[in-house]
Structure 1
Amino acid sequence: MGDPALSRRSFLAVSAAAGLSMTALSGCGGDSDGGSSDGTTTIEWWNISTTQPTKDVWAALAKKFEAQNPKVKVKIVQLENDAYKSKMTALTASGKLPDIFHTWGGGVLKQQVEAGLVEDLTDRTKGWGDKLVPVSKEPYLIDDKVYGIPFDIGMIGFWYNKALFKKAGISEPPATWSAFLDAVDKLKSAGVTPLALAGKEAWTGMYYWAYLAMRTAGVDALEKANQDKDFTSPGLVQAGEHLKELVELKPFQKGFLGASYSGPTGQAATVGNGKAAMELMGQWAPIVQADAGKGLGDDLGFFPFPAVEGGQGAITEVFGGGGGHALRAGAPQAAVDFLKFFASEATDVELVKKTGVLPVVPAAERAITDPNVKAVQQQLTAATGFQLYLDQAYAPALGQEVNESVAGLIAGSKSPEQVTDSITQVAKEEQ
């Protein structure tokens, strides 16, 4: 499975480059010894559910689990997306992970596994883990072994304001890239900001480049580029050229380069308050829009990323992923019990009803009532190809470079060719 020492050195290099302090993080994660003198087991649960209602729903679920397991206490640590990724990189480098931690699977989880830091759940989840929706489990399978349990599955797509589309004379969501650019022009002509973007958080811009790469070069191109350590193929350069076309239309809200995703003046709030017509985001978007802003109610709609004329990809090839939980190596049985509780039908129904996630337990599909959630599920069901988030599918340093290079293109400091050259350089360094 690779050299754990090499994996650790790779993580240390990433941490050092990010300027992360090991001492500042000491005491975080992996400190639970599984029990105390009174027989109580404390398990530490790290997640990224910082917005409402998810934050409170998850806290209530932890309390419910504690009530069912009187000798177990759940200590919750919640961090926003980027802060979480940075701290987990540092913790991995230090060799200490939390008992239970959020994971997107893919290359990041693979490096943690190869470093010997993640519990093999293959045998410990037999019976109940086998019954989950198959596609939801794929990101957490490494060498046919289970290293994570999903709680969500979904895809990235455009969330749009139907009233603002109507104001701009757009009768239906665009299905092609040229029609999308036309829609951007129409929205601007109508005095509407077409797109909201959290330029301060590089992962949000990466979605555009990744989808355009899939549409121009095909769904397999990104994995092939990773394997070949070469991202300079014409199709991937074209992805940047198409993104540059969009950027030159100046479609984003004023001050977008300094905007956060979930803050009160960030990307989600800008759409949720009706100040921008669209955002490219995952299945969680309506919940965050309503928490950060007012929410759009019946005016909110969803459509898949458009096809690119002449491209190798299809509109039915989707980009996304879900959330899951993994355990540190040697985690107590109480942590496994918590995963089983979290993956139960009762919990999944509650998550679907209250937080808008797509179910990973087949029986929980009955709880879907929101038409937009149903639209996302239908797109996923009909998908002919699937690509995991690039900053999770790839090794951490490479995923970070994809995010930062694309952010440079959006900010006007990098050309499409420079984006693919920079990514290729880091890919080769990772060998």
Structure 2
Amino acid sequence: MLTTRRRVATTVAVALAGALLATSCGDSDGGSSDGKTLRLWHYEGPDSAMGVAWKEAVKEFEAQHPGVKVKFEEKGFEQIQKTAPMVLNSDDAPDLMEYNKGNATAGLLSKQGLLTDLTAEVTRHGWDKKISGGVRTISRYDTNGVMGSGKWYGVPDYAEYAMVFYNKDLFKKYGIARPPTTLDELTAAMDKFVAKGVTPLANAGAEYPAQQYLYQLALSKADRSWVDAYELYKGKADFHDAAWTYAATTFADWVEKGYIGKRSSGLKAEDAGVSFIQGKSPILFSGSWWYGRFKTENTFDWGTFLWPGSGLTLGSGGNLWVVPKGAKNKELAYDFIDITLSKKIQNLLGDKGGVPVAADPAAVTDPRAKSLIADFNTLSEKDGLAFYPDWPVPGFYDVLVSETQKLITGSETPDAYLSALQKAYDKGVPKT
């Protein structure tokens, strides 16, 4: 999955509020037709594009449903990631929640019978007509929990992809005239920063950023069939092939050259993002989920570019709206999803720096937002979204974190690193 996303969103967990209004009578599947409260969980930061858009969606929902209130309970990404199976198998399950997409997360929950099959609702509301094929991949899961086919268990209302965020002021200060268009130009730029005592790449080894740098290096030597073998089991994933070997050895080399700080092994995604926001790190490779926050908090001139020299990058449809099997107000949940896919909310999401799936392009007026969406369209048109490294098998995110930390500290060789990944991956691949 993650993407762990892997998330920028605040990790402050708001304590669960009191009991719900006891006005709904549930059927055997947990649903009700007269509920007065929609319990909503998500982990997007309030200043992010999604956070802003969904706050407006709450207002729209309550306006359309007099007497119904949305009880929003903010969660941290890691909190939901670790506790979802337990919570969704209890009476405390929300009616609607944001959850990570991919085999190891939404796929696993669907296989365990913890999510509602949304296929009929997708057809009834026409959501499938708003969500393109590339984004749709992460919405459907087969009986083994493998994405790409089968029933709809989640609905994304945005897309996401990874890019290089760069500090234009620092680039200018250190004599780098323009954003790199090749990997050689990128390494030359990083050499200039290192020569001046500046660590060029913001990184976080304790969460997703480090593994995403490494996966992007592998993608620069890969093609679609390689991605399909790794993510969808359409072939055998070999962690000692040319792409993975290049990625691991190059990543370790970048640590030695000072492009990546050795002390970053214990940092979290928030630390990496704040380092960029504070102007300490000139470059951050991460996802579009940071865009809205950078727009709000950066006090310097900044921009983005796609990873140079690669036709593939990390990305997919965004995290999913999922309806727990035991949700007590399913119809309300479906209505809320529908509102987030409306033109009003989609246009707002796009203008705030998100990547909407059903916006009117002419309605997005912010120049940076237009650039963000244009780059996504470029990737989408050439089938360049390659998902995330932790998606293929359950528990792989934690393996990637711990093993990539060892590469950063130098306590493990690239060859041993790749062998550890192979072992964990092979153990988790569904047996057919």
User: TM-score interval w.r.t. the shorter chain?
Assistant: 0.7 to 0.9
For the structure 1 residues 230 and 316, does the alpha-carbon distance in structure 2 shift closer, same or farther, using more than 3 Å as the test?
closer
Aligned to 1:154: 160
- TM-score by length of structure 1 reads 0.81
**1:327-358 deviation per Cα after TM superposition (whole angstroms, max 9, x unaligned):** 112542111111111111111112222x3111
For the structure 1 residues 290 and 225, does the alpha-carbon distance in structure 2 shift closer, same or farther, using more than 3 Å as the test?
closer
> Which amino acid in structure 1 is aligned with residue 62 of structure 2?
E
Does structure 1 conserve the Cα–Cα contact (< 8 Å) formed by 2:343 and 2:358?
yes
For the structure 1 residues 32 and 363, does the alpha-carbon distance in structure 2 shift closer, same or farther, using more than 3 Å as the test?
farther
Q: Of the candidates 283, 294, 317, which is equivalent to residue 278 of structure 1? A: 283
Does structure 2 conserve the Cα–Cα contact (< 8 Å) formed by 1:50 and 1:79?
no
Does structure 1 conserve the Cα–Cα contact (< 8 Å) formed by 2:403 and 2:417?
yes
Give the % identical residues. 24
Does structure 2 conserve the Cα–Cα contact (< 8 Å) formed by 1:168 and 1:189?
no
* Cα deviation, residue 188, structure 1: 2.1
Aligned to 1:294: 298
1:52 aligns with 2:54: no
For the structure 1 residues 418 and 96, does the alpha-carbon distance in structure 2 shift closer, same or farther, using more than 3 Å as the test?
farther
For the structure 1 residues 300 and 52, does the alpha-carbon distance in structure 2 shift closer, same or farther, using more than 3 Å as the test?
same
Aligned to 2:186: 180
Does structure 2 conserve the Cα–Cα contact (< 8 Å) formed by 1:181 and 1:246?
no
Q: Of the candidates 308, 331, 334, which is equivalent to residue 333 of structure 1? A: 331
SS of 1:76 mapped into structure 2: strand
For the structure 1 residues 288 and 78, does the alpha-carbon distance in structure 2 shift closer, same or farther, using more than 3 Å as the test?
same
> Which amino acid in structure 2 is aligned with residue 100 of structure 1?
L
Aligned to 1:356: 353
Aligned to 1:384: 383
For the structure 1 residues 368 and 397, does the alpha-carbon distance in structure 2 shift closer, same or farther, using more than 3 Å as the test?
farther
> Which amino acid in structure 2 is aligned with residue 384 of structure 1?
D
Q: 1:159, 1:58 → 2: CA distance? A: 25
* Cα deviation, residue 156, structure 1: 0.4
Aligned to 1:221: 226
Structure ranking higher on relative contact order (CA contacts 8 Å, 6+ apart): 2
> Which amino acid in structure 2 is aligned with residue 48 of structure 1?
Y
> Which amino acid in structure 1 is aligned with residue 154 of structure 2?
G
Does structure 2 conserve the Cα–Cα contact (< 8 Å) formed by 1:159 and 1:301?
yes
**1:140-183 deviation per Cα after TM superposition (whole angstroms, max 9, x unaligned):** 12234222111211210100011211222222222333332221
Does structure 2 conserve the Cα–Cα contact (< 8 Å) formed by 1:225 and 1:231?
no
1:204 aligns with 2:209: yes
For the structure 1 residues 329 and 288, does the alpha-carbon distance in structure 2 shift closer, same or farther, using more than 3 Å as the test?
same
Does structure 1 conserve the Cα–Cα contact (< 8 Å) formed by 2:24 and 2:36?
yes
Correspondence 1:35-50 to 2 at 5 A = 35=24, 39-50=34-45
Q: Of the candidates 83, 89, 95, which is equivalent to residue 99 of structure 1? A: 95
> Which amino acid in structure 2 is aligned with residue 379 of structure 1?
T
Correspondence 1:11-410 to 2 at 5 A = 35=24, 39-54=34-49, 55=51, 57-91=53-87, 97-107=93-103, 108-126=105-123, 127-134=125-132, 135-142=134-141, 143-200=149-206, 202-225=207-230, 227=233, 228=236, 230-252=238-260, 255-262=263-270, 266-290=271-295, 293-296=297-300, 299-307=301-309, 315-321=310-316, 322-329=318-325, 331=327, 332-353=330-351, 355-363=352-360, 366-371=363-368, 372-391=371-390, 393-410=391-408
Q: 1:317, 1:41 → 2: CA distance? A: 45
SS of 1:274 mapped into structure 2: coil
Aligned to 1:312: none
SS of 2:386 mapped into structure 1: strand
- TM-score by length of structure 2 reads 0.81
SS of 1:156 mapped into structure 2: strand
Aligned to 1:21: none
Does structure 1 conserve the Cα–Cα contact (< 8 Å) formed by 2:99 and 2:320?
yes
> Which amino acid in structure 1 is aligned with residue 302 of structure 2?
L
For the structure 1 residues 139 and 277, does the alpha-carbon distance in structure 2 shift closer, same or farther, using more than 3 Å as the test?
same
* Cα deviation, residue 254, structure 1: 8.5
**1:59-88 deviation per Cα after TM superposition (whole angstroms, max 9, x unaligned):** 343133122212432222222322331222
Does structure 1 conserve the Cα–Cα contact (< 8 Å) formed by 2:262 and 2:409?
no
* Cα deviation, residue 215, structure 1: 1.4
Q: 1:216, 1:34 → 2: CA distance? A: 57
Provide the aligned C-alpha RMSD in A. Answer: 3.2
Does structure 2 conserve the Cα–Cα contact (< 8 Å) formed by 1:401 and 1:426?
yes
Aligned to 1:310: none
Report the number of matched residues: 392
For the structure 1 residues 403 and 278, does the alpha-carbon distance in structure 2 shift closer, same or farther, using more than 3 Å as the test?
same
Does structure 1 conserve the Cα–Cα contact (< 8 Å) formed by 2:140 and 2:151?
yes
Q: 2:93, 2:362 → 1: CA distance? A: 33
Q: 1:78, 1:27 → 2: CA distance? A: 9
Q: 1:295, 1:196 → 2: CA distance? A: 17
SS of 1:301 mapped into structure 2: strand
In structure 2, runs of 5+ residues without a counterpart are: 1-14, 27-32, 142-148
Q: 1:32, 1:397 → 2: CA distance? A: 37
For the structure 1 residues 39 and 161, does the alpha-carbon distance in structure 2 shift closer, same or farther, using more than 3 Å as the test?
same
SS of 1:257 mapped into structure 2: helix
* Cα deviation, residue 240, structure 1: 0.3
